[in-house]
Structure 1
């Protein structure tokens, strides 16, 4: 008799969900989501993310209940929760999606694999993005991505044979409150769940994508001109395959050439999403250490303690009081809302890395907590790319003054988020821009000219660089390309 637990992680939907589709064929099934203390205590976690997760679980629970499958939401370490359920349910199989997550989730998965082996539970994982496990190099990666994304989407199962003794009605109010998880409150969050994701997708494909390629750079236009689907992909309320296929269909069906142009730009960025996640899958250590080891020791905080002046600069950056109004406006919007458009994210990291000469790890942790759409693979790859420590990407230094002139020429955005700008209450610039950037360029370009750095860049390019994938080039001789700007979690 096949008795299965479907373990939900960052895949909070019923459509295009391979573990669910397979569970519908089993003799008895349970659905499980684990709220893990390791996540709640991690330096990337924020109450906003926890609150949004709980909002996503409500429609998921209801959609599963309508199909006769109870969703158990348990709080605890994964192995302990699974062991308890094994005693209650005597499961023979565990189904889940693969996950490319931060270090704590990687260690968790290894512990679960050991527990399953020791207790005779067959754990089957399915891919849900273009990330390929145990990839040797990037040859053929783009073709495999396309093959996965073009495969038919799986419909939501019609019904399940639920495990005896786990009545759906008894679990109708089983979600914990935010306070029970140790958080007194959280900022407001957008609508959550699979239906909310599909509504956003429909509005984007149906017209919001007009002018997308221009709108995604400016904080004035990106709020409505971007898809705003990044948090839904991060929590899996919409599958990448569903998004890809819906976008391709919309391009084919529209007679509006401008809309099709915007949608084609968006479609290309979906490949970027998985391209960056693949880097963390291939090399999990980039969450903590430099891609290019020749960059080790380049900045304070890389193997050493931050000095008081660096701490002060970091704090000013986090609080949006650097004296650079575009930087401060962007940081304040992000802290208040949990979202910021891609170019302004890149500018924030560039400013921390080059103007303030801060190592990427602590700014990266602060940003990870603020982003509702935090996606570890994209985040840490981009933190390093924008900080100049990958060894292969073009050094990209953003001028806050130029960004303001280009994307907020009337000062509307700055006035909205930094109302004290222009008064005595607003601080002077925390650094002199010209001298700070001259020093940063001298250190980084000097480092990249060494034989050791060139040799290492070749090895990094072989392992992590794109291969005829429709992606912009990378490498020591790469030229500037618009797509290479990226963005921490919101590539689109």
Structure 2
């Protein structure tokens, strides 16, 4: 008779604290396989980049350090979970699978559907736990806010690792997957935040104890935000820390009665996190089509030349190019600048949002499908229910990087531009540019900002008034609108 085991399937929940599936699995007293699969279909998916898989590897390594203290092990393989599950089922009797629900891309949803069929066919219990405050199968938002607060205030589900009993799998079970994890995943890149719960807690602690004092004053500034913001977004994205842990740490910090305004602003963004993921959970067509079908008739152009210039930070618009190049190098820019990049692509360059959404996903270290796609469509103006925001990248630079410190940091070709010309370098007198040794090639903007914005504004507002957009907008409001509540 086959030995009975259960599997804890790790996905975007790479931690050992506040992990209800792991806690439930340990309490089942069944021998366990703790499993993470580097999915080939995900690795080759254009939404992802090597930066993501390095972060995941570091997160797994961090987990293994703690597990080794209890003489336990995490199985890490480079193979589809579907194949690994089939192999394990041949070698053992699988009693149950424990995992968190995942609000992911179509590719991960397809994997989940296969696993569900497999479990039904082989009579395996699959225990899925809700992730953060996101509710599967939700019809409307009438009680969502109250339920979200309730979930955030529940006890931390910390597994007792001293009771954990992982099996030593027969190495022949994983023969075809052994030693196949790409070495490049294990290479450290100093420009990116390191993965793992250890660093997640380090960043959160330093933020709540010190850096939160600068939160409101730095959140919109591309340079100051790099230290003034919490910088825990990649740790939330990959589950190195749960939203509940962050929420409760914030509430504990409030008791000190310091930085209350900054903590309130930070807290509102925690609820905002799950609000947008919930939208995607309830309507995942955000990934593929205009959420407001009335915008299917809005004909944006497709220009590979314009897209490549935007993608590579070569538009000639200093703030746009600096943000993109910073993102390439570090995987992070603040929210306002992300919105500006989307606005510039979809409004000033008048390109469809889809290709840009996939590309920026590959660059954001903290890429969360639910937040990414719902926000992208909101900024692109295809929801029909949000204010149309056309960010002026020149004004954004003047307001949030007045001396061009951030711009010059990421655009060395503009290092000699005087501050009065840094946001519109094409206005520098030719003789002065020549004396400063500035190449004329860096002084040519890709588009006229004013004219391009005017074209987009007229087209978007005209379309927003159409009957179909309004009709679709009412459906969206009925499904996704939150009752008015202030952050606690």
Give the TM-score taking structure 2 as reference length. 0.90
Residue number in structure 1 paired with 2:16: 14
Assess, with a 3 A threshold, how the Cα gap between structure 1 residues 180 and 354 changes in structure 2: closer, same or farther.
closer
Residue number in structure 2 paired with 1:126: 129
- Give the superposition deviation at 1:38: 0.9
2:398 and 2:167 mapped to 1: Cα distance? 64
Assess, with a 3 A threshold, how the Cα gap between structure 1 residues 435 and 409 changes in structure 2: closer, same or farther.
same
Assess, with a 3 A threshold, how the Cα gap between structure 1 residues 250 and 161 changes in structure 2: closer, same or farther.
closer
Q: Contact 2:191–2:329 at 8 Å: present in 1 too? A: no
2:362 and 2:107 mapped to 1: Cα distance? 15
Query: What secondary structure sits across from 1:159 in the alignment?
Result: helix
Residue number in structure 2 paired with 1:265: 265
- Give the alignment partner of residue 342 of structure 1, picking from 327, 335, 340: 335
- Give the alignment partner of residue 94 of structure 2, picking from 91, 95, 106: 91
Q: Contact 2:26–2:159 at 8 Å: present in 1 too? A: no
- Give the alignment partner of residue 455 of structure 1, picking from 471, 474, 485: 471
1:154 and 1:300 mapped to 2: Cα distance? 48
Q: How does 1:7-46 map to 2 (within 5 A)?
A: 7-25=9-27, 26-46=29-49
- Give the superposition deviation at 1:27: 2.5
Q: How does 1:332-481 map to 2 (within 5 A)?
A: 332-421=325-414, 422=417, 423-424=438-439, 425-470=441-486
2:315 and 2:167 mapped to 1: Cα distance? 60
1:165 and 1:228 mapped to 2: Cα distance? 37
1:160 and 1:62 mapped to 2: Cα distance? 17
- Give the superposition deviation at 1:264: 1.3
Q: Which moved more, 1:425-434 or 1:241-250?
A: 425-434
Query: What secondary structure sits across from 1:91 in the alignment?
Result: strand
Query: For 1:166-217, what per-residue CA distance to the aligned partner results, in whole angstroms no more than 9, with x for missing partners?
Result: 399xx9xx77553477x99967432221111111110000010003122111
Give the TM-score taking structure 1 as reference length. 0.89
- Give the superposition deviation at 1:359: 0.7
Q: Contact 1:178–1:185 at 8 Å: present in 2 too? A: no
Q: How does 1:188-337 map to 2 (within 5 A)?
A: 188-252=191-255, 254-256=256-258, 259-300=259-300, 306=302, 310-337=303-330
2:88 and 2:69 mapped to 1: Cα distance? 22
Q: Contact 1:29–1:69 at 8 Å: present in 2 too? A: no
- Give the superposition deviation at 1:129: 1.2
Query: For 1:37-92, what per-residue CA distance to the aligned partner results, in whole angstroms no more than 9, with x for missing partners?
Result: 11011010101111111111101122223234321112222211111112223221
Count the aligned residue pairs.
458
- Give the superposition deviation at 1:439: 1.0
Assess, with a 3 A threshold, how the Cα gap between structure 1 residues 466 and 311 changes in structure 2: closer, same or farther.
same
Query: What secondary structure sits across from 1:426 in the alignment?
Result: helix
1:82 equivalent to 2:70? Answer no
Query: What secondary structure sits across from 2:406 in the alignment?
Result: helix
- Give the superposition deviation at 1:30: 1.3
Query: What secondary structure sits across from 1:24 in the alignment?
Result: helix
Assess, with a 3 A threshold, how the Cα gap between structure 1 residues 68 and 29 changes in structure 2: closer, same or farther.
farther
2:188 and 2:235 mapped to 1: Cα distance? 22
Q: Which runs of structure 1 show a deviation greater than 6 angstroms over 4 or more consecutive aligned residues? A: 183-187
Please list every run of 5 or more consecutive structure 2 residues that lacks an aligned counterpart in the other structure. Answer: 418-437
Q: Contact 2:32–2:165 at 8 Å: present in 1 too? A: yes
Query: What secondary structure sits across from 2:299 in the alignment?
Result: coil
Query: For 1:135-178, what per-residue CA distance to the aligned partner results, in whole angstroms no more than 9, with x for missing partners?
Result: 0011111111111111011224232453544399xx9xx77553
Query: What secondary structure sits across from 1:125 in the alignment?
Result: strand
Query: For 1:336-380, what per-residue CA distance to the aligned partner results, in whole angstroms no more than 9, with x for missing partners?
Result: 110001111111111111100111111111100001100000000
Query: What secondary structure sits across from 2:442 in the alignment?
Result: coil
- Give the superposition deviation at 1:459: 0.9
Q: How does 1:151-162 map to 2 (within 5 A)?
A: 151-162=154-165
1:56 equivalent to 2:59? Answer yes
Q: Which moved more, 1:184-193 or 1:391-400?
A: 184-193
Query: What secondary structure sits across from 2:162 in the alignment?
Result: coil
Residue number in structure 2 paired with 1:479: none
Assess, with a 3 A threshold, how the Cα gap between structure 1 residues 246 and 176 changes in structure 2: closer, same or farther.
farther
1:77 and 1:7 mapped to 2: Cα distance? 12
Q: Which moved more, 1:321-330 or 1:69-78?
A: 69-78
- Give the superposition deviation at 1:418: 1.1
Please list every run of 5 or more consecutive structure 1 residues that lacks an aligned counterpart in the other structure. Answer: 472-492
2:35 and 2:138 mapped to 1: Cα distance? 29
Residue number in structure 2 paired with 1:481: none
- Give the superposition deviation at 1:248: 0.9
Residue number in structure 2 paired with 1:5: 7
Q: Contact 1:179–1:185 at 8 Å: present in 2 too? A: no
Q: CA RMSD in A?
A: 2.2
